[in-house]
Amino acid sequence: MLPLRPEPSEKNRRIPFGAHAAVLPKSQLPHLLNALLEDYRVVGPRVGAGEIVLDWIGSPDDLARGYRDVQTPGIYRLEKAEDDGTVFTYVNGHESPKKFLHPGRFVEFVGKPFQAEARPLPIEEDRRKTAFFAIRPCDRQAIHVLDLVFKNAYPDYYYCRQREGSLLVVLNCTATGNNCFCVSMGTGPRADTLFDLALTELDGRFLLEVGSPEGEAVARRLDTRPATSEDLTEAAQDLAGAAASMRRKLNTINLVQILQGQFDNPYWDVMGEWCVGCGNCTAVCPTCFCYEIDDTLDLATGLVERIRRWDVCFTWQFTEMHGCNTRSELRQRYRHWCEHKLSYWVNQYGVFGCVGCGRCLTWCPVKIDISAVANTVRRNQL
Amino acid sequence: MNWRNYLQPLDCRIEAVRNENADTLTFTLSFKNQRTRKVYSYLPGQFNMVSLMGFEEAPLSLSSAPGPETSFQHTVKVVGRLTHALRGLQVGDSLGIRGPFGVPWPVDELMGKNLLAVAGGIGLAPIRSLLLHIFRQRDKYGKVTVFYGAKTPREVIYTDEFSDWKLQPDTELALTVDRVDGQSWEHNIGVVPTLFEKVPVSAHNSLALVCGPEVMMKFVLIELFKRGFPPESIFVSMERRMRCGMAQCGHCMFGPKFVCRDGPVFRFSDIQHLFGKGV
C-alpha cells in the first residue's frame, strides 16, 4: 500500500479511483467516528461562532450538521440548511489542519532571563495519534505541503510530534465553494493520493475508499458492502459535476517561470495599492508556515517563555534588519506572497504552495483573488 | 518516536571577550558539553543562531577559523535587543548556540586562485574567518587582496590583527573609511568602491568574495564587472532576518532561495536575477 509519509524524493503514488472501495450507509457514519475515537483523538468540522470550525470531536453528535455556508469574495455566512439527507452541506471554514500540526502560538522553551538554558516543556499526557476527519482534498494536499516544509533535513520537533501517525479521513467534494479553484491546482475535487480513508457522499450512502493499512484497520470495523459499478459511476459523475461547476480558474502553465520574470511588472504597484496588508490570507492559508519567535517574560513566575507564533510576510517587520528592509513596500510584500505560493514553492519543494482552497479570497477584506492576480500578470507580461 | 529538537540552544561558556571598538565585541565561546565540543565543526562563512532567554535568537557569522582548538568566535556589533544584552555578558557567563548553518565560502574552489576579499563594516567578520583559514595553509592559495571599509576610523574592527595579516606572504590589505571626524587616519578616505581606483585588481585566475551592506555590494559588483570578473567568479555573503536557520521560519527568503540554507554565501551568477529586486 501507499507510503503515508512520503519523503520529498519519492513520487506520490496515485490511488486509482475505486481501487479499494466499499459502500458505507449513512446510518453507519456515527460508527465510523466511534471507530476513530477508539484509537485516535479526532479533529473534524464543528459548528463554531457563525462558522464551521475544525476542532476536537468527542462524539459523533459533535459533527456539524444542518448548516450551510455561503462563501463569496470577502464574505462568509453560515445559514440553517433544509434537511434533505445530505450530511456535508458545507465546505471549509477558515481553519485548516495547520491549526493542529503547526499551531498559531505555543511555548517552545522556558528559561530564566539573561540565561542560555532553554528547557522544553514536559510532554503532554495524551499521546494518542490524531485523526483528521472529513478534511477536504485541498487540505489533505496542504498537509503534504507542510510535511515537505517541516520534515526537511532538520525535521521540526513540534510538527513531527503532532503529525506522526496521524490519520487522514478525506471527504471528497461533490459540491464546491464559490471561491474554490482546486481543479486548477490539481488537488481536488477527489483526493487521489495520501489519504488513509476517503469518503464521497452519495444519495443515502458514502463511497468509502481505503488508501492505507491504517485506514483499512478502521474500515474493517464498519458494516460496509463492496462497491458496485453503479456506486462508482454515481460517485464519478458527482465528482465530475463538482469539477465542472468550478468557475474560478488559475492557469498554471509555465506559471513558475512566468512569475519569476515579472518582478518589475507594474501590476504589482496596483496590488500594492489594493492590498491592505492585513495578513488574513496568511492566517487562513493552510500552507503558510512562516513563524516568528517571541521571548515573553511571565511576570508571575519571572521566567521567559520562548513563544513560536505564525508570522505574516505582509508586515514591515517581517524582513526588517538593522539599518535596512529588503521588502519595505507593500507592493513588494504582496508580490512576495503571491510569487511564493505560485512560483518559488515549486523551486523549493516541487509542488505549488497554493492548494486552491479559496480561503484567502473568502477572508480577504478587499476581495483579492490570487487566481485572478496570477492570470492578470500572465496576460500583462513585460 | 523520539525526534531531536533542533531548536534547542546548547549552552556555551564565554571564554573571552575582546572589545574591537566602542560597540563591537568578539566573544570566544566553547560548548559546556564535552561531546558537543568534540563533534562541533564549521567552515568559514557559516553562522550560528545565538540565543539568550528573553532576547530571542539572532544569526551571527563565525569570525574564527576552524582549527584544532574547540572554541570558536563571534564578532558582534551592538545594534539590537539581543546584541545589547550580549554586551552585558562577561567571561564565564553562558550563551545558547545552535549551528553551524548555511553554505560556507567555497574553500576548495578558492585553492590556487588569486583572491579579492571585499568587506564593509561588520561584514569583515566572515571574511576574517576565511582569511585566518587561508593563512593556516597560505601556500595553497594565490595572491590575497583585502579591501575593507568602515564608516569612520572609530568603527574599524580587528585593528590589532592587520599587521599580522600584512606579514603574510603575497597579501595586501587596503583600508578606507567613508569619513574622518577629527581622528588620525593614514589610509584612503571614501566608500569601499573607491579602493578600486587606488589598488590595481586583475580578474585573471581570480575569485572575488564580498560581504557587507547590500548597497555597498551593489557598487562593488559594478567595479568587479568593470574589471572583468564574471558573475560566476564572484561570491557574496547575504544578510537576512532569520529565526530558525533551517529553512522553516520563512524570514530569510530571497526569491526562491532560503538564505539560511542555500546561502548565506552565494555564487553571484545564481542570484543575479534576484539581487536588488526587493524579493
Q: Is the pLDDT score of A6 beyond 70?
A: no
Q: Where are any strands of DSSP class E within chain A? A: 21-25, 40-47, 52-57, 67-72, 75-80, 105-111, 119-120, 129-135, 167-171, 197-202, 205-210, 225-226, 291-298, 303-310, 320-321, 324-325
Asked if pLDDT for residue B2 goes beyond 60, the answer is yes
Q: How many CB atoms lie within 10 A of CB B6?
A: 17
Alpha-carbon distance of A379 to A368, in angstroms, equals 17
∠ CA B82-A155-B41, nearest 5°, is 60
Amino acid identity, residue A76?
Answer: Y
Each residue of B123-158: pLDDT tens digit? 999 999 999 999 999 999 999 999 999 999 999 999
Domain ranges of chain A: 21-245, 255-379
pLDDT confidence bin for B181, thresholds 50/70/90: confident
Q: What distance in Å separates the CA atoms of residue B124 and residue B45, rounded to the nearest whole number?
A: 11
Q: Which residues in chain A have their CB less than 8 angstroms from residue B80's CB?
A: 322
Mean pLDDT of B157-162: 96
Whether A336 contacts chain B with CB within 8 A: yes
Q: Is A131 exposed, middle or buried (0-12, 13-18, 19+ CB in 10 A)?
A: buried
For A55-81, how does the pLDDT look when each residue is reduced to its tens digit (9 = 90+)?
999 999 999 999 999 999 999 999 999
CB neighbours of A218 closer than 8 A, spacing ≥ 6?
A: A32, A35, A36, A39, A167, A196, A197
Q: What is the pLDDT of residues A155-181, one digit of tens each?
A: 999 999 999 999 999 999 999 999 999
Residue A311 has pLDDT above 80, yes or no: yes
The three state secondary structure string of A263-287 is CCCCHHHHHHHHCCCCCHHHHHCCC
A161 to chain B, any CB pair closer than 8 A? The answer is yes
Spans of all domains in chain B:
10-101, 107-237
pLDDT above 80: residue A252: yes
Q: What is the ipTM of this complex?
A: 0.93
Identify the bridge partners of residue A303 per DSSP, sorted by sequence position: A298
In what order do the strands lie in the sheet containing B57-61?
B57-61, B47-51, B94-101, B10-21, B24-31, B72-77
The partner residue sitting opposite B243, judged by closest CB among A109, A152, A291, is A291
How sure is the predictor about B182, in pLDDT bands with cuts at 50, 70 and 90?
confident
Q: Which amino acid is at B203?
A: A
The answer, for A311 touching chain B at a CB cutoff of 8 Å, is: yes
Helix (H) or strand (E) holding A146: helix A137-150
CA distances to A119, B10, B40, B121, B167 from B36, in Å: 18, 9, 6, 32, 35
Listed in sequence order, the residues at least 6 apart from A343 whose beta carbon sits closer than 8 Å to its beta carbon are A255, A256, A259, A260, B256
Cell numbers placing A249: 480558474
A333 reaches B (C-beta below 8 A):
no
Q: Does B12 touch chain A (CB under 8 A)?
A: yes
pLDDT, tens only, A270-305 = 999 999 999 999 999 999 999 999 999 999 999 999
Q: Is the pLDDT of residue A147 over 70?
A: yes
Residue of B nearest to A302 (CA): B54
Query: Is B49 a residue whose pLDDT tops 50?
Result: yes
Assigned fold of B10-101: Elongation Factor Tu (Ef-tu); domain 3 (2.40.30)
Query: Under DSSP, is residue B13 helix (H, G, I), strand (E, B) or coil?
Result: strand
Mean pLDDT across A42-56: 96
- Here the cell at position A4 is 503515508
Give residue A12's pLDDT: 53
- DSSP SS3 for B12: strand
Confidence of residue A2 (pLDDT cuts 50, 70, 90): very low
**Architecture in CATH for domain B107-237:** 3-Layer(aba) Sandwich (3.40)
Cα–Cα dist B212/B236, whole Å: 9
pLDDT in tens, B72-109: 999 999 999 999 999 999 999 999 999 999 999 999 99
Mutate: best of B95, B103, B253, B261, partner A, most A CBs <10 A = B253
**Contact between chains at B279 and A327 (C-beta distance less than 8 A):** yes
Report the predicted TM-score, pTM, of the whole model to 2 decimal places: 0.93
Cell of B21: 571598538
Per cent of chain A over pLDDT 70 is: 96
B214 and chain A in contact, CB less than 8 A: yes
Q: How far apart are CA A380 and CA A371, in angstroms?
A: 14
Work out the pLDDT band at B183, boundaries 50, 70, 90: confident
What the block records as the C-alpha cell of B274 is: 534576484
Q: Could you read off the pLDDT of A326-364 as tens digits, one per residue?
A: 999 999 999 999 999 999 999 999 999 999 999 999 999
Tell me which residue in A152, A157, A336 faces B7 most closely, judged by beta carbons: A157
Mean predicted lDDT score pLDDT of chain A: 92
Beta-bridge partners for A119: A110
